Amino acid sequence: MLKGIPKILSPQLLKVLCEMGHSDRIVVADGNFPAETMGKDCIVVRMDGHGVPEVLDAILQLFPLDTYVEKPVTLMEVMPGDPVKTPIWDTYKEIVSKYDARKEQAVGTVERFAFYEQAKTAYAIIATGESAVYANVMLQKGVV
């Protein structure tokens, strides 16, 4: 055990976060996200017993967001006509606001299939057990 490290962060995930360089991206995926399919060329970390908010909060305690881009936090947009509500996005914005001076302005959205294409180039994907839909979030790493 280490002091000051959130207990939810496994040794494997800590190693991944440390290995990532400036502008690398990591996806914290909900339980419906095709993590293994999208992650064929990256590292997939399984965290099935956890939700995205708790994982996001733990990561952002250690992970600098990229200050060289306007929106280093990206959410998957709801498909047009899909009657889904996304209250979890407000939770994400609150979490990001605790760790980034830009607050919720650091959070943007991208069309669903564009999100998938970006996820295929991510350094890692964390597969959670989050049951909320459209609950995927992508983080772009900054510098310390």
Tell me the pLDDT tens digit for each residue of 41-56: 999 999 999 999 999 9
* Residue 66 falls in the annotated catalytic set: yes
* Residue 22 falls in the annotated catalytic set: yes
- Give me the pLDDT at residue 26, please: 98
Model-level pTM?
Answer: 0.96
**pLDDT of 79 over the 90 cut:** yes
* Residue 116 falls in the annotated catalytic set: yes
Sequence-separated (6 or more) residues with CB below 8 Å from residue 28: 52, 55, 56, 59, 126, 128, 136, 137, 138, 139
Supply the mean pLDDT for the chain. Answer: 97
- Give me the pLDDT at residue 47, please: 98
Token pair in block for residue 115: 């999100």
Catalytic residue among 50, 99, 116, 123: 116
> What would the mean pLDDT of 27-45 be, rounded to a whole number?
97
Positive or negative CA dihedral for 52, 129, 14, 7? positive
Catalytic residue among 24, 30, 66, 100: 66
Q: Residue 2 — very low, low, confident or very high, per pLDDT cuts 50/70/90? A: confident
**pLDDT of 1 over the 90 cut:** no
Sorted by where each starts, the structural domains of the chain and their CATH numbers stand as: 22-132 (3.40.1650.10)
Catalytic residue among 22, 48, 82, 90: 22
Residue of 61, 74, 56, 58 whose CA lies nearest to 110: 74
